[in-house]
Amino acid sequence: MIEETREELKQFGVWSRQGINFGRVRSCMQIFLEMSTGSRVKSINITDERAMLINDAVAALMLEDKMSADILCLFYIRRLPEYIITEKTGLSRGKVKSLLSLAEGFVDGFLCSKLAA
């Protein structure tokens, strides 16, 4: 299931970079979007409903573990490689990998709990 979640997170990153405007609601993805290069990908393979559910998961993670949520956003939305994230955060590569894995697991658990409900 975690591999499916990683693929969905990649698609979510593409979806987030599409410049979708939700009015006054700003997610962490939209904030990072403002700092991104602005390159557009032509096709996305995720529904708005699923993307919003992932957005909810990231928002919940932000309340629990902001550093993990930030790293998740840097990796999937800004598409920064781990070594750049280590430079930006000052964390070791092992710590970045650990926090990213924790964040992916959190999102996976969140999505699974919503499917079961």
Specify the pLDDT at position 20: 52
Question: Contact, 85 vs 71, CB < 8 A?
Answer: yes
| CA–CA separation, 106 and 63 (whole Å) | 12
Specify the pLDDT at position 114: 87
Specify the pLDDT at position 41: 41
Does this model's pTM top 0.95? My answer is no
pLDDT beneath 70: ranges in the chain:
19-43, 117
**DSSP letters spanning 15-80:** HHTT----TT---HHHHHHHHS-----S---S-HHHHHHHHHHHHHHHHH-HHHHHHHHHHHTS--
**Element at 4 (helix H, strand E):** helix 2-16
Specify the pLDDT at position 24: 46
Residue entry with tokens 């557009």 = 40
| Residue 40 tokens, joined | 């557009």
